[in-house]
Amino acid sequence: MKNAGRSFYIFIIILLAIIGWGGFNWLRFLTHGSGLTGSSDVVPWGIYISGLAYFIGVSAGATIIGLLIHAFGREDYAPMGIRAILLGLLCIFGATQFVLVDLGVPFRGLKVPLILHNLTSLFLISSSSYYGFMAILSAELYFTVKITRGKANERDEKIAKWLGILAVPYALWVVHAFTGSIFGVVKAREMWNTPMLPVHFVISAIASGFAMVILVAVITSKIEKRELLTSETFDHMGKLLAFFVIATLFLDFFDYFILRYSGTKEAMETWHILTRRYTILFVMNIGGLTLAFFILLFKRGRTPNGLLIAASIIQLAIIAYRIDLVSVGQLAPLYPGMGELYYYPTLPEVSVALGLVALIILLYTVLSKIIPMEEIVPEPGV
């Protein structure tokens, strides 16, 4: 691997150690059962399903960059083209791994959807759509890399362009909206069962995905010690991100406003759990998004350093929202008299989740060294 220094290998070894720790704990799940997690019969879904929701959301970043380059002709985003596709592909892959570690009988889960299937299940529809999305992104990656290497003919360029545009409606309408509907259709849970949820999911997915692309752009610029994008492009990115953040905040506000105002018994219980018992997550979600929006309003907030802070805050806020939605959403008791229900992830559970995150970062780091990321412009005078 070229340009690989000592710190690169230390970074890889740290990631491998985290993956090893998580993998070991997953083997314990396989032999002893999932009882080592903090989930229970009353809170069946823990941070793994939150992880699924979060990483599916982040993969939206790939499609947004594709849309900006191919449909809106923003050629200044081109250095992020392949990086965003690779990021989206790895996030979708990571999300499916989050489902796999959550399953009680994981290897039987590989039979879905070909051997075992029930077509009325949104879990089946959305997980099948992930395979389709992975196929589209892989094809897009293949053709874009071919173009970058200068080996593409005109037909390849056309295919790459149309794949980039077609990926957007497929991702937003099928992948993200149906992932939101997994929760939206459950009539037993007050916090989930709202027609707004697919919309909310799509918008917050775009916000977190775009913020993740910005994070990658800024961090890559800092590591490689060069300006990957122009400052004008960073400014444009910041403005777009501010728009996505305020849209997410708007949906958040009205989601909670309607929950609180309607004031049914279950809604009040959910509201109480959200604001009194899991206050940190609630503040992280609403406060984080508000803070990030105000940072992005200023011109200094749209420089690489400002974007680094804002995008990191947005990631934390969206993670908090996903945990609020998935796990805290199940805590309103189904029968009065079941008492106060709690969910806290255990250390083995967290280690497996961290291991998966480390796996995604590792794959990205290694693949970004192997795959040519942008056209190599010969330096003048050489």
Partner 1 sequence: MKKLNRREFVKLAVVAVPGSLMPQPLKVFNDAVNQILGTKQKSNKYVPKPITNAGFGMVIDLGKCIGCRRCAYACKLENSVPDTISPPYIMVFETGSATGVTGHFPSPERLGKGTTMFYTKLRKNKWYMPVQCNHCDKPPCVQVCPTGASYKDPDGLVLIDYEKCIGCRYCMTACPYNARRFNWWEPEIHHDQMNPLVPMRRHGVVEKCTFCVHRTRKGKTTRCVEACPNKARTFGNFDDLDSKVSKLVESERNFRLKEGLNTEPRIWYLTKPKEKIMRWYRPLPPPKNIRGVKL
Token pair, residue 222, equals: 């800092």
- Cα gap 210→198, rounded to integer Å: 18
Q: Which of 57-65, 121-129, 302-310, 353-361 is the region at the interface with partner 1 (rule: CB under 8 A)? A: 121-129
- Among 18, 34, 129, 285, which residue sits at the site for partner 1 (rule: CB under 8 A)? 34
Q: Give the largest CA-CA distance in the chain.
A: 79
Residues in the chain: 382
Under the binding rule (CB under 8 A), the answer on residue 276 touching partner 1 is no
Q: Which of 154-162, 223-231, 247-255, 337-345 is the region at the interface with partner 1 (rule: CB under 8 A)? A: 337-345
Under the binding rule (CB under 8 A), the answer on residue 32 touching partner 1 is yes
- H-only helix segments in the chain: 6-32, 47-58, 60-70, 81-102, 122-148, 154-169, 177-184, 197-224, 231-262, 265-272, 279-297, 304-326, 347-370
Under the binding rule (CB under 8 A), the answer on residue 31 touching partner 1 is yes
Under the binding rule (CB under 8 A), the answer on residue 354 touching partner 1 is no
- Cα gap 321→328, rounded to integer Å: 10
Q: Which of 35-43, 143-151, 165-173, 244-252 is the region at the interface with partner 1 (rule: CB under 8 A)? A: 35-43
Give the x-and-dash track for 88-117 against partner 1 (CB under 8 A): -----------x--xxxxxxxxxxxx--xx
- CB-nearer residue toward partner 1: 116 or 376: 116
- CB-nearer residue toward partner 1: 60 or 99: 99
Q: How far is the CB of 49 from partner 1 (least distance, A)?
A: 9
Under the binding rule (CB under 8 A), the answer on residue 41 touching partner 1 is yes
- Crossing angle of helices 197-224 and 177-184, in 10° steps, is 130
Under the binding rule (CB under 8 A), the answer on residue 268 touching partner 1 is no
The answer to whether 355 and 22 have CB atoms below 8 angstroms apart is: yes
- Among 12, 16, 124, 286, which residue sits at the site for partner 1 (rule: CB under 8 A)? 124
- Among 78, 134, 166, 186, which residue sits at the site for partner 1 (rule: CB under 8 A)? 186
Tell me the one-letter amino acid at 186: V
Tell me the one-letter amino acid at 71: A
The answer to whether 51 and 121 have CB atoms below 8 angstroms apart is: no
Under the binding rule (CB under 8 A), the answer on residue 120 touching partner 1 is yes
- Cα gap 337→285, rounded to integer Å: 30
Under the binding rule (CB under 8 A), the answer on residue 347 touching partner 1 is no
∠ CA 51-321-330 to the nearest 5 degrees? 80
The answer to whether 234 and 307 have CB atoms below 8 angstroms apart is: yes
Q: How far is the CB of 37 from partner 1 (least distance, A)?
A: 8
Q: Which of 76-84, 122-130, 247-255, 276-284 is the region at the interface with partner 1 (rule: CB under 8 A)? A: 122-130
Q: Which of 29-37, 138-146, 152-160, 345-353 is the region at the interface with partner 1 (rule: CB under 8 A)? A: 29-37
- Write b or e for each residue in 220-234: b if 16 or more Cβ atoms lie within 10 A of its Cβ, otherwise e: bbeeeeeebbeeebb
Under the binding rule (CB under 8 A), the answer on residue 336 touching partner 1 is yes
Residues contributing to the site for partner 1 (CB under 8 A): 24, 27-28, 30-35, 37, 39-42, 44-45, 99, 102-113, 116-118, 120-124, 127, 182, 185-189, 330, 334-339
